[in-house]
Amino acid sequence: MSKIQNFDLSSLIRSNILNINPYSSARYEFSEINNNKYIYLDANENSFGAPLCFKNSYNRYPDPLQEKLKQKISKIKKIPVRNIFLGNGSDEIIDLLYRIFSRPEIDNSIIFPPTYGMYEIIGNIHGINVIKIPLIKENYQLNLIKLKSVINKYSKIIFICTPNNPTGNDIKKEYIEEILNTFHGIVVLDEAYIDFSSEESFSKKISKYPNLIILQTLSKSWGLAGIRIGIGIASKEIIKLMNKIKYPYNISMLSQKIAIESLENKNIFLNHLKSIIKERTNIIKSLKKISFIKKVYPSSTNFILVKINHSSKNLYRYLINNNIIVRDRSKIILCNNCIRITIGTHEENKYLINKIKKYII
Ligand SMILES: *Cc1c(COP(=O)(O)O)cnc(C)c1O
């Protein structure tokens, strides 16, 4: 295990992306907004405003690089602004990374199922061969031996989700480091659930690993799935590439505003986080007492994977009939007869456990 030698970012970038002369938007060229000193006649906005009865500035284009929001995120996550990219959800960032690094019909990416579905779907949209190396059945960890046997010169991106969705476990830090130290392509570490885990984020290690890109999101622990903000953390060179090819105004003014406001309420965030983790412990304890539940997997996330002794589909339908919607994962590799349950509020969880207890096979 040696530290990655002479990692060459530019050799990984598709030539069309390398050669693009990016679009320069009006608000990028003149970014000082909402300053009464200026008359803005540069972006074909409607100076009369939106037909709304309250004062607003929605007639203006949003900040293309989301400086104010990035400063808030920078302060909370203790990562410099230049190492942060914001996307319209993590999914936009995954899409941009495929565009930057992966040549359609030529390159491949590597994923470890069962995992988040979008790595494969977005890869397929781009005509990329997505190679699947199933997690080890017993502990849902990475199969490094198999990984080594499939990596070739066309392997551009490896996606690792930790804690993993839908299994809920952390991927061993040593395995991640091993890949970071030896793979000459890009390693995407999806930390969407990291705030629920007791493991430390890799976000402080981007200067050590030039091939590392971390994905985080405001959708889960921050409770902001509706405003679509994904966070990319990487070297400033990689961030620059993403900024070069993103749509100019990819995050709406409303989303930026709501995110800034939420990040100012860190105490509420921490309280919710604490409650979710406490509820998680309680639900796991209750589920383990139920006879037809074969296994409750340990969780470092805000959901729990549960294996049933018989058809999980029947339990899934029973819960729907009782107005509770969980996710049936039984069709997914290594998740036979499994359902995934998101942690709800205390009342919701109590109701859920009561209904499951009354379930008759
Ligand atoms: C929910 C989730 C995300 C979040 O995606 P957004 O587009 O930011 O909402 C990312 N990765 C994983 C593994 C997830 O489960």
Binned at pLDDT 50, 70 and 90, residue 340 comes out as: very high
Is residue 137 over pLDDT 70? yes
The CA 301 to ligand 1 mean position distance, Å, reads 12
pLDDT digits (tens, 9 = 90+) for 105-130: 999 999 999 999 999 999 999 999 99
Binned at pLDDT 50, 70 and 90, residue 1 comes out as: very low
Atom of ligand 1 nearest to the CA of 217: 8
The CA 40 to ligand 1 mean position distance, Å, reads 37
Atom of ligand 1 nearest to the CA of 229: 8
Q: What pLDDT is attached to residue 21?
A: 86
Cα-Cα-Cα-Cα dihedral of 143, 147, 148, 149, to 10°? 110
CATH assignment, 9-25+62-264:
3.40.640.10
The CA 236 to ligand 1 mean position distance, Å, reads 23
pLDDT digits (tens, 9 = 90+) for 141-162: 999 999 999 999 999 999 999 9
* Spatial CA neighbour of 315 closest among 360, 282, 254, 249: 360
What lies within 8 Å, CB to CB, of 34 at 6+ separation is: 57, 60
Using alpha carbons only, give the angle 131, 139, 216 rounded to the nearest 5 degrees. Answer: 60
Q: Measured between alpha carbons, how far is 268 from 277 in angstroms, rounded to an integer?
A: 14
pLDDT digits (tens, 9 = 90+) for 16-63: 999 998 888 888 888 777 778 899 999 999 999 999 999 999 999 999
Helices within the chain (DSSP H only): 9-12, 15-18, 26-29, 67-77, 90-101, 118-125, 144-150, 173-182, 236-245, 253-263, 266-288, 312-321, 346-357
Using alpha carbons only, give the angle 324, 327, 333 rounded to the nearest 5 degrees. Answer: 160
CA dihedral for 176, 178, 180, 185, sign (positive or negative)? negative
pLDDT digits (tens, 9 = 90+) for 220-268: 999 999 999 999 999 999 999 999 999 999 999 999 999 999 999 999 9
Mean pLDDT of 330-337: 96
Q: What pLDDT is attached to residue 3?
A: 63
Among protein residues, the one whose CA lies closest to atom 13 of ligand 1: 116
Tell me what the pLDDT averaged over the chain comes to: 96
Among protein residues, the one whose CA lies closest to atom 3 of ligand 1: 192
The CA 121 to ligand 1 mean position distance, Å, reads 13
Residue-range domain boundaries for the chain: 9-25+62-264, 31-60, 267-357
Atom of ligand 1 nearest to the CA of 91: 7
Q: What pLDDT is attached to residue 27?
A: 81
What lies within 8 Å, CB to CB, of 133 at 6+ separation is: 110, 111, 112, 113, 142, 143, 146, 147, 150
pLDDT digits (tens, 9 = 90+) for 195-223: 999 999 999 999 999 999 999 999 999 99
The CA 51 to ligand 1 mean position distance, Å, reads 34
Which CATH architecture fits 267-357? Answer: Alpha-Beta Complex (3.90)
pLDDT digits (tens, 9 = 90+) for 63-90: 999 999 999 999 999 999 999 999 999 9
- Taking CB atoms within 8 Å and a gap of at least 24, the contacts of 16-21 are 17/99, 17/100, 17/241, 17/244, 17/245, 20/244, 20/245
Q: What pLDDT is attached to residue 251?
A: 98
The CA 126 to ligand 1 mean position distance, Å, reads 19
Q: Measured between alpha carbons, how far is 127 from 104 in angstroms, rounded to an integer?
A: 5
217, 224, 303, 327, best to mutate for ligand 1 pocket (most atoms within 8 Å of CB): 217
Provide residues with CB under 6 Å of ligand 1. Answer: 89-91, 116, 161, 165, 190, 192, 217, 219-220, 225, 230
Q: How many other CB atoms sit within 10 Å of the CB of residue 236?
A: 14
The CA 192 to ligand 1 mean position distance, Å, reads 6
- Output the CA–CA distances (angstroms, integers) from residue 269 to 1, 79, 218, 220, 262, in the order listed: 39, 19, 11, 11, 8
Q: What pLDDT is attached to residue 33?
A: 75
3-state helix, strand, coil in the chain (%, to 5): 40, 15, 50
Question: Euclidean distance between the first and final Cα of the chain, in Å?
Answer: 51
Mean pLDDT of 284-302: 97
Q: What is the DSSP letter of 200?
A: P
